[in-house]
Amino acid sequence: MRHRVRTAKLGRTGEHRNAMLANLVCSLIKNDTIKTTLAKAKAARVVAEKMVTLGKKGTLHHRRLAVARLRAPQRKFFPKAKGVSGSEQRKNWTDEHDVVRILFNKIVPKLQSRQGGYTRIVKLAGARKGDAAQLAYLTWVFDDTVASTSEKSEKSGETESKSESNVVESQTEDTKKSEEIKENTNADEAVHENSESENNADDGEQAEQQK
């Protein structure tokens, strides 16, 4: 009896099951999202979260454990194939092929602030044609706190710059209005002085005529 045995066999032998789960997790690391059956997604989630735990520790030993579990090929250790040397295989090697490096350098930093629950399973409506299997998406749950804080800082900087520009514009408008008021008062004073001088001249002429 399999009492209290939590391992889902998935209709495969142990070696086949481990290889399949390693391939699923490698695809998840490369693409950030995979589509598979619900049972496989639940089994792959366990492996993926353990790999993130190894990545958070970040030592060489834990990197080697991740390489062993994911069965990920490394650039320095290519098996010799017939007619193809290891140096020829290494020429076509890029960082995109190094799943463990992507996990440790790109995915783990985005999950650094989370204490668990690094993946999410989203069930799809309906069933797969042929065997009526329940399908689901398996994705990472990345933290957007850094992006949100940067966006908030940018928005706050924009609002501060806008407020400063508005203050400067209001100050310039106030100065322009004060200058216009001064010019109007000066013009009114000049007109008043001219009218007074004209009135004085008229009074003088009238006095001379009366004499």
Domain positions in the chain are 14-142, 144-211
- Average per-residue pLDDT in the chain? 79
Question: pLDDT band for position 147 (50/70/90)?
Answer: very low
Question: pLDDT band for position 132 (50/70/90)?
Answer: very high
In this structure, the strands spanning 134-140 and 119-127 are antiparallel
Residue 47 pLDDT greater than 90, yes or no? yes
pLDDT at residue 143, as a whole number: 77
pLDDT at residue 86, as a whole number: 60
pLDDT at residue 59, as a whole number: 92
Residue 37 pLDDT greater than 80, yes or no? yes
What's the CA gap between 39 and 21, in Å, rounded? 11
Most confident residue range from 33-37, 83-87, 142-146, 174-178: 33-37
pLDDT at residue 45, as a whole number: 96
Residue 135 pLDDT greater than 80, yes or no? yes
Residue 58 pLDDT greater than 60, yes or no? yes
Beta bridge partner(s), residue 123: 136
How far is CA 175 from each of CA 47, 65, 168, 179, 182, rounded to the nearest angstrom?
Answer: 69, 71, 11, 6, 10
Chain centroid, CA 151 distance in Å = 9
Residue 158 pLDDT greater than 90, yes or no? no
- Which three-class secondary structure state does DSSP give residue 63? helix
Question: pLDDT band for position 48 (50/70/90)?
Answer: very high
Q: In what order do the strands lie in the sheet with 33-37?
A: 33-37, 134-140, 119-127
What's the CA gap between 51 and 161, in Å, rounded? 45
Give the range among 28-42, 116-130, 162-176 with minimum mean pLDDT.
162-176
Say whether domain 14-142 belongs to CATH 3.90.850.10. no
- 117 or 170, which is more confident? 117
